[in-house]
Structure 1
Amino acid sequence: MINQAHRPVVVLTHRVHPQILDVLGERCKVIANQSDDSLSADEVRRRAAEADGLMVFMPDRINADFLDGCPQLQVVAGALKGHDNIDIEACTDRGIWLTRVEDLLTEPTAELAVGLLIGLARHIVAGDRAVRAGKPGWRPTLYGSTLVGSTIGIVGAGRLGRGVARMLTGFDARLLCCDPAPASPAGEEVPQMERVELPELLERSDSVIVCAPLDDSTLHLLDRDRLESLRPGALLVNVGRGSVVDERAVAGLLRSGHLGGFAADVFEFEDLSRPDRPVAIPEELIDMGDRTLFTPHLGSAVASARLRIEEHAARAILQALDGQVPDGAVNQPQRDVRVTMNAL
């Protein structure tokens, strides 16, 4: 058990539900961000300097230099699934557990992916603007496309890709998938999903949904050359990682009319693991409001899902501080590097 003579310090970098503070507060001293805004990198470093446990979120960047400023740190618990913003090797070398949430983000993100595709295909945002601008009722304008009977390609056949496929089965669409990351976790196949190589998927699809994670092999996987192989007027949705898609190439193909529309919940500027990442969404994309649809990384922004994600991260922190293997561990740290809380 955690030694209550030395209540471990747990730092939370973003606002969480009150019940999470209560659970952690029973056994730890909690330093929480009570604001809706992200802390600056310097402020996170300052707060984490004496932390035994750290709960981090997508905007946080955890690297070797950061960890060297946290001599007591035992566990970094990610309230997230993708962890390309955290240096796994640096955590392992310093005897620090790194955990993530595996399944709790899948269904909410898949749901949003389908919603973005429908919104893009049926010009829902443009229709809303027309109504608010006082345009008359029914007119034969804003013609879109239908998902029913179409061919939809899914890039990334991991949990998220399979979740998207399951949700799309109700549209009687032909589903293609390819897996640029062969190490995707095993899971139940979707019977209606046909596995093909990426070139074939792009050539056959009316719409493409990107669900792939970011690594060296998927950086700009969908570049200009590959995007040009899409059918004219095809729709593209990205809910994987921003940098899997070359956003400037997308802008050029939208401008030329080859690409019919682009929707995204993730963007290149978010990918902290890229030292050359852009600082913002390209202006060309922002200016194409009639053929783009963007959301601010809302994939898991469902109240019930976020609470479960935070509960998972909090439980992992307490397990690690108790000397146990925490749920969702993605590494096996050198435990002789740092003592556990049991030894304090």
Structure 2
Amino acid sequence: MKKTILITHRLPREHFAELEAQFEVLIPCEERFSKEEFQRLLPRIDGMIASTALRVTDEMMALAPRLKIIASYGVGYDNIDLAAAQRRGIVVTNNPTPVLEPTAEHAYALMLAVAHRIPECDRDLRRGEAKWGIMDNLGISLYGKTLGIVGMGRIGKALRRYAAASRMRVLYYNRRPLPAEEERVLEVEYADFDTLLRESDIVSVHTPLTDESRHLFGPEQFRRMKPTALLVNTARGAVVDNAALAEALRSGEIAGAALDVFENEPRVLPELPTLDNIVLTPHTGTNTVETREQMSAHAARNVMRFFAGDPEIDRVV
């Protein structure tokens, strides 16, 4: 009898052809299953591919006694109760490889957008309010600026390559510095957090959300940044105190920001869209046709390898 794998959100079925050859695969017809459908299906599933938009709780796992693996569709897994999964003997995997390039590319695009004031000028032009003077619409160039990367993991390292195209000096902050040889190859410099905030013209956030990183950027951190600095966040919304950021942008404590992620998304702090010096995208850093195909294939591969007894999976717990 085939094992049953539930995919929590609607995704193209053709992405899972190989998975369907081996398992019964349940995919919602609408954006997601209704609460009633979901609860009815949980007792019969052996695996789950879970979007980061769904909170996978201990109570949910209790309703799925056959569940053996939860494969996060994204690289993040803060939506999954890891302690509960570990206690129940459920393996959790994530999906790190396919998101590297598109997330780094999106972060770089956001830097350019906020630095050159592209969305602001686009809005003004569409409203017939564009200014055409030689000293109007002045942005800043990325060329030769200092980029501070908070979280020099795989996405941070990918972003460093884009920064090289703008001949940017790259500082980075991690809990532990990289080996000296890797720093030399990447052409990056380690800095403590305060130094990175003080010296960077653009700060890009690439750290996972943990108890330690929640509100890593708050009022005190914005006070330490240059008044001309820009903040870009494509990691997790709660790493940045959104209310404190809105105040820092309104008061001119920092010059601009670009966010792809938000606290409490899909709800967005109402003050943020009212500000001209911020660029906002609705968590679209991996929203490309190619990336969705690769993410689906990679998540499915983790499930297939797990049930085949192959240890080569992206195991979190």
Higher relative contact order (CA 8 A, sep 6+): 1
Q: CA deviation at 1:170?
A: 1.0
1:184/1:150 Cα in 2 relative to 1: closer, same or farther (>3 Å)? closer
Per mean C-alpha deviation after superposition, the further-off stretch among 100-109 and 315-324 is 315-324
For residue 191 of structure 1, what is the amino acid of its counterpart? L
- Rate the CA distance shift 1:136–1:167 in 2: closer, same or farther, 3 A: closer
Moved more, 228-237 or 41-50: 41-50
What's the counterpart of residue 122 of structure 2?
Answer: 128
- 2:297 is paired with a residue whose SS is helix
**Alpha carbons of structure 1 residues 312 and 191: separation in structure 2 relative to 1, 3 Å:** closer
**Are residue 206 (structure 1) and residue 201 (structure 2) matched?**
yes
1:139 maps onto 2:133 in alignment: yes
- Counterpart among 166, 174, 185 of residue 171 in structure 1: 166
Which one of 287, 304, 314 corresponds to residue 274 of structure 2? 287
Whole-angstrom distance in 2 between the partners of 1:128 and 1:265: 19
Is 1:117 equivalent to 2:111 in the alignment?
A: yes
What is the aligned counterpart of 1:220 among 215, 220, 241?
215
Equivalent residue in structure 1 for 2:91, among 87, 91, 97:
97
Contact 2:16 2:297 survives alignment (8 Å): no
Instruction: Look up the match of 1:65.
Output: 59
Which position in structure 2 is the counterpart of 1:75? 69
Percent identical: 34
Alpha-carbon contact 1:239-1:264 (below 8 Å) kept: yes
- Note if 1:197 corresponds to 2:192: yes
Secondary structure of 1:49's match?
helix
Q: Does 1:301 align with 2:296?
A: no
Which amino acid is 1:316 matched to?
N
Q: Residue 130 of structure 1: SS of its match in structure 2?
A: helix
User: Under a length normalisation based on structure 1, what TM-score does the superposition of the two structures give?
Assistant: 0.85
Asked if 1:106 is matched to 2:100, the reply is yes
CA contact (8 A) 2:131 2:137 kept: no
Match of 2:304 among 304, 318, 321: 318
Deviations 1:61-87 (A, max 9, x none): 112111110011121111111111112
| TM-score normalised according to structure 2 size | 0.92
2: CA distance, partners of 1:99 / 1:250: 32
Please report how far the alpha carbon of residue 231 of structure 1 lies from its aligned counterpart in structure 2 after TM superposition: 0.7
Q: Within 1, Cα distance between the matches of 2:292 and 2:153? A: 21
| 1:32-91 Cα shifts (integer Å, max 9, x gaps) | 0233x2445554333323101111111011121111100111211111111111122222
Bigger fraction of residues in helix: 2
Which residue, 242, 245, 265 being the options, matches 1:247? Answer: 242
Whole-angstrom CA distance in 2 between matches of 1:13 and 1:52: 13
State whether structure 2 residue 147 is matched by structure 1 residue 152. yes
Q: Distance in 1 between matches of 2:40 and 2:189?
A: 50
Paired position in structure 1 for 2:40: 46
SS at match of 1:283: coil
Structure 1, 100-109 or 16-25: larger mean CA deviation: 16-25
User: Contact between 2:147 and 2:203, CA under 8 Å: does it hold in 1?
Assistant: yes
User: CA separation in 2, counterparts of 1:298 and 1:119?
Assistant: 15
Q: Tell me, what secondary structure is at the counterpart of 1:165?
A: helix
Aligned residues: 315
Q: Deviations over 1:218-264 (max 9, x none)?
A: 11111101111111131111111111111111111111111211111
Whether the 8 Å contact between 1:209 and 1:237 is mirrored in structure 2 is yes
Answer whether contact 1:158 1:185 (CA < 8 A) is retained: no
Q: Residues 54, 236 of structure 1: CA spacing in aligned structure 2 closer, same or farther, 3 A cutoff?
A: same
- Cα 1:311–1:176 change in 2 (3 A) is same
Kindly provide the amino acid, as one letter, of the partner of residue 216 in structure 1.
D
* Amino acid in structure 1 at the alignment position of 2:70: V
Pair 81,258 (structure 1): closer, same or farther in 2 beyond 3 Å: same
